[in-house]
C-alpha cells in the first residue's frame, strides 16, 4: 500500500517524544509535570451554570461559523482590547485555534507564487502545527531562527528578496511559544510593510496575548488599523484556552479580511467541526467577562516574580514578557535540553520538555537544543517548590 511522503520527515510530536526519552527511567522523586501548557487555574465560575441551562443544544447541529451572540461578543472584545471595529462577517469561531492555524493555510496559501513553489515562513522554534500546515499545501517550510540574537522573534526582513517573493504565508506567535517574546509596535509595522512589499499574508497566533507581566502586548490588528494596512494582509487567531483557563472548551476564533474570510468559511463548511451550541454559549460569556482573566493573570505575574527571584543572577536567564513558559538555558556542563530533561527526571522527578523538540535543524544547528521549556501552570506553591528543585539540579 502506498502512503504519502509529505509527512515522512516529521519527528514524533513533543510529548510522545518525551515519553520515549524518560518514561523507561525511574523518577528521582515524586513526579511533577511542567510540560504541557494546560492551565490549572480556576475556570470561570459561570461555566457549569451556562452548560446546564443549555444542555438541549447538544441535540441540534450548531451554526458552523458561530452564533450571532458569540460573534458579537468577540467583536466587542476586539474593540475593547485593540480599539478596532470588526464586523461579525470578518470573524469565525474555531473548534480550538490549532484547527484554524492549520486550515487557514489550506484555504489561503496559493499553489504557486510568482510561478514557483510557495514558501511558508516559520519562527524556529515554533508551534508545530505551522510546519504541518505548510507541508500539507506543498509549500516549502522556511525555519527562521528566533533566538537571543533577534530577541527571540524571527527577523523575516533579513531574508533574501527572491525568497520573500515566494512567500505565501508568514506565521508569527506573540507572545511567543515557547520563549515568551512579545512583538513590539515597530516589529508589527516592519512585518506589515514586508508583507505588502512582497505580497504575502501574516498569520498572527496571539493566543497568549492576555497573559503578560507589565503591559498588554500590542496586537497586529491595532497596528494594521493605525497604518491603514490592507485588511487582507492579516489573519489573526485567538483562544479561550489560555485566557480563560478553558483548554477543554476548544474554543477560539479567527479574524481576517473579507475576501480571506469568504475562503475560510467556504472550507469550513465542507471540512470544519463546529463548536457545540452549549459550548458556544459558554464562550460568549467568557469573551464578555474580564474579571476572571484579571485574576488569573495576577497569579501568573506572581509566579514570574517568584521565578525572577529564584533565578536571580543566573547567566542567560530572562523573565519573559508574556505567556506562561520559562525558556531556560542549559549549562554547557550538562549538554543540551534532552540531557537536562533526563537529569531533572532521574534526580528530582520533574518533567520538562527539551527545547529542541520545538525546533528544526537548519544547517546543522537546532536553536532550541540549548534550552528546556518549563510551564508555570500549577498552583503558586507547587510551582515555587518545583523551580527551586530545578534550580538546584541544573544550576546548583
DSSP-assigned letter for residue 247:
G
pLDDT computed for residue 309 by the predictor: 97
Give the number of residues written for the chain. 396
Question: Is residue 1 situated within a structural domain?
Answer: no
Q: Return the higher-pLDDT residue of 12 and 189.
A: 189
Q: Tell me, letter by letter, the H, E, C secondary structure of 322-352.
A: ECCEEEEECCCCCCCHHHHHHHHHHHHCEEC
Q: Which three three-digit cell numbers place residue 264?
A: 475560510
Is the pLDDT reported for residue 301 higher than 90? yes
pLDDT computed for residue 304 by the predictor: 97
pLDDT computed for residue 25 by the predictor: 98
Angstrom distances, CA of residue 34 to CA of 87, 147, 249, 297, 381: 39, 22, 22, 18, 14
pLDDT computed for residue 359 by the predictor: 96
Q: Which three three-digit cell numbers place residue 254?
A: 479567527
Give mean pLDDT, residues 16-27: 97
The residue out of 257, 289, 321 marking a domain boundary is: 289
Digit-coded pLDDT (tens) for 238-271: 999 999 999 999 999 999 999 999 999 999 999 9
pLDDT computed for residue 358 by the predictor: 97
Q: Are residues 285 and 302 in the same domain?
A: no
Q: Which three three-digit cell numbers place residue 61?
A: 447541529
Give mean pLDDT, residues 86-104: 96
Is the pLDDT reported for residue 1 higher than 90? no
Angstrom distances, CA of residue 44 to CA of 196, 239, 285, 319: 41, 15, 9, 27
Is the pLDDT reported for residue 360 higher than 90? yes
Q: Are residues 275 and 320 in the same domain?
A: no
Range of the domain at 96: 47-289
Digit-coded pLDDT (tens) for 29-85: 999 999 999 999 999 999 999 999 999 999 999 999 999 999 999 999 999 999 999
Question: Is residue 8 situated within a structural domain?
Answer: no
Give mean pLDDT, residues 218-231: 98
Question: Is residue 169 situated within a structural domain?
Answer: yes
Q: Are residues 225 and 139 in the same domain?
A: yes
Question: Is residue 28 situated within a structural domain?
Answer: yes
Question: Is residue 323 situated within a structural domain?
Answer: yes
Q: How many other C-beta atoms are found inside a 10 Å radius of the C-beta of residue 112? A: 12
Is the pLDDT reported for residue 295 higher than 90? yes
Is the pLDDT reported for residue 11 higher than 90? no
Beta carbons of 152 and 187 less than 8 angstroms apart: no
pLDDT computed for residue 275 by the predictor: 96
Question: Is residue 306 situated within a structural domain?
Answer: yes
Q: Are residues 283 and 345 in the same domain?
A: no
Q: Are residues 103 and 167 in the same domain?
A: yes
CATH number of the domain to which 202 belongs: 3.40.640.10
The residue out of 268, 289, 310 marking a domain boundary is: 289
pLDDT computed for residue 362 by the predictor: 94
pLDDT computed for residue 272 by the predictor: 86
Q: Are residues 149 and 169 in the same domain?
A: yes
The residue out of 272, 289, 306 marking a domain boundary is: 289
Q: Are residues 275 and 355 in the same domain?
A: no
Q: Give the least confident one: 3-12, 47-56, 152-161, 196-205.
A: 3-12
pLDDT computed for residue 23 by the predictor: 97
Q: Which three three-digit cell numbers place residue 49?
A: 451554570
Q: Are residues 64 and 148 in the same domain?
A: yes
Q: At 343, is the pLDDT very low, low, confident or very high (cuts 50, 70, 90)?
A: very high
Question: Is residue 4 situated within a structural domain?
Answer: no
Give mean pLDDT, residues 121-147: 97
Q: What percent of the chain has pLDDT over 70?
A: 100
Burial class (CB in 10 A: 0-12, 13-18, 19+), 84: middle
Cα four-point dihedral sign 47, 50, 53, 57: negative
Model confidence, pTM: 0.97
CATH number of the domain to which 316 belongs: 3.90.1150.10
Q: Are residues 251 and 351 in the same domain?
A: no
Question: Is residue 42 situated within a structural domain?
Answer: no
Q: At 347, is the pLDDT very low, low, confident or very high (cuts 50, 70, 90)?
A: very high
Q: Are residues 258 and 329 in the same domain?
A: no
pLDDT computed for residue 396 by the predictor: 87
How much is the mean pLDDT over the chain?
A: 97
Q: b/e map of 115-137 (b: 16 or more CB within 10 Å)?
A: eeebbbbbbbbbbbbbbbbbbbb
pLDDT computed for residue 2 by the predictor: 85
Digit-coded pLDDT (tens) for 168-210: 999 999 999 999 999 999 999 999 999 999 999 999 999 999 9
Q: At 3, is the pLDDT very low, low, confident or very high (cuts 50, 70, 90)?
A: confident
- The CA dihedral of 28, 31, 34, 38, to the nearest 10 degrees, is 170
Q: How many domains does the chain contain in total?
A: 2
Q: Are residues 18 and 107 in the same domain?
A: no
Distance CA 344, CA 132 (A): 30
Q: Are residues 357 and 301 in the same domain?
A: yes
Amino acid at each position: 500500500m502506498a502512503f504519502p511522503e509529505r509527512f515522512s520527515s516529521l519527528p514524533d510530536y513533543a510529548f510522545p517524544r518525551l515519553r520515549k526519552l524518560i518514561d523507561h527511567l525511574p523518577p528521582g522523586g515524586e513526579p511533577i509535570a511542567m510540560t504541557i501548557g494546560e492551565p490549572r487555574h480556576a475556570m470561570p465560575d459561570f461555566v457549569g451554570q451556562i452548560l446546564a441551562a443549555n444542555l438541549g443544544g447538544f441535540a441540534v447541529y450548531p451554526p458552523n461559523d458561530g452564533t450571532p451572540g458569540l460573534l458579537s461578543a468577540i467583536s466587542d472584545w476586539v474593540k475593547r482590547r485593540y480599539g478596532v471595529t470588526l464586523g461579525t462577517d470578518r470573524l469565525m469561531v474555531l473548534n480550538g485555534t490549532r484547527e484554524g492555524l492549520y486550515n487557514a493555510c489550506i484555504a489561503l496559501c496559493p499553489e504557486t507564487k510568482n510561478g514557483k513553489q510557495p514558501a511558508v515562513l516559520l519562527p524556529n522554534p515554533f508551534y508545530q502545527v505551522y510546519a504541518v500546515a505548510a507541508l500539507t499545501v506543498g509549500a516549502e517550510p522556511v525555519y527562521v531562527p528566533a533566538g537571543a540574537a533577534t530577541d527571540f522573534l524571527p527577523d523575516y526582513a533579513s531574508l533574501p528578496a527572491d525568497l520573500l517573493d515566494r512567500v505565501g504565508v508568514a506565521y508569527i506567535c506573540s507572545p511567543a511559544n515557547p520563549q515568551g517574546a512579545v512583538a513590539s509596535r515597530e516589529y508589527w509595522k516592519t512585518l506589515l510593510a514586508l508583507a505588502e512589499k512582497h505580497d504575502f499574508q501574516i498569520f498572527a497566533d496571539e493566543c497568549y496575548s492576555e497573559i503578560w507581566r507589565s503591559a498588554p502586548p500590542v496586537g497586529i490588528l491595532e497596528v494594521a488599523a493605525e497604518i491603514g494596512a490592507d485588511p487582507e494582509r492579516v489573519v489573526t487567531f485567538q483562544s479561550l484556552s489560555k485566557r480563560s483557563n478553558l483548554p477543554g472548551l476548544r474554543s477560539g476564533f479567527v479574524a481576517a479580511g473579507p475576501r480571506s474570510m469568504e475562503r475560510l468559511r467556504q472550507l469550513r463548511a465542507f471540512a470544519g467541526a463546529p463548536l457545540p451550541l452549549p459550548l458556544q454559549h459558554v464562550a460568549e460569556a467568557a469573551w464578555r467577562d474580564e474579571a476572571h482573566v484579571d485574576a488569573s493573570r495576577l497569579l501568573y505575574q506572581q509566579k514570574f516574580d517568584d521565578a525572577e527571584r529564584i533565578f536571580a543572577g543566573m547567566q542567560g536567564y530572562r523573565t519573559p514578557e508574556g505567556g506562561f513558559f520559562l525558556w531556560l538555558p542549559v549549562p554547557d556542563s550538562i549538554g543540551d535540553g534532552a540531557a537536562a530533561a533526563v537529569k531533572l527526571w532521574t534526580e528530582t522527578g520533574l518533567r520538562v520538555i527539551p527545547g529542541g523538540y520545538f525546533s528544526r535543524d537548519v544547517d546543522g544547528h537546532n536553536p532550541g537544543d540549548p534550552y528546556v521549556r518549563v510551564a508555570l501552570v500549577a498552583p503558586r506553591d507547587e510551582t515555587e517548590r518545583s523551580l527551586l528543585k530545578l534550580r538546584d539540579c541544573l544550576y546548583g
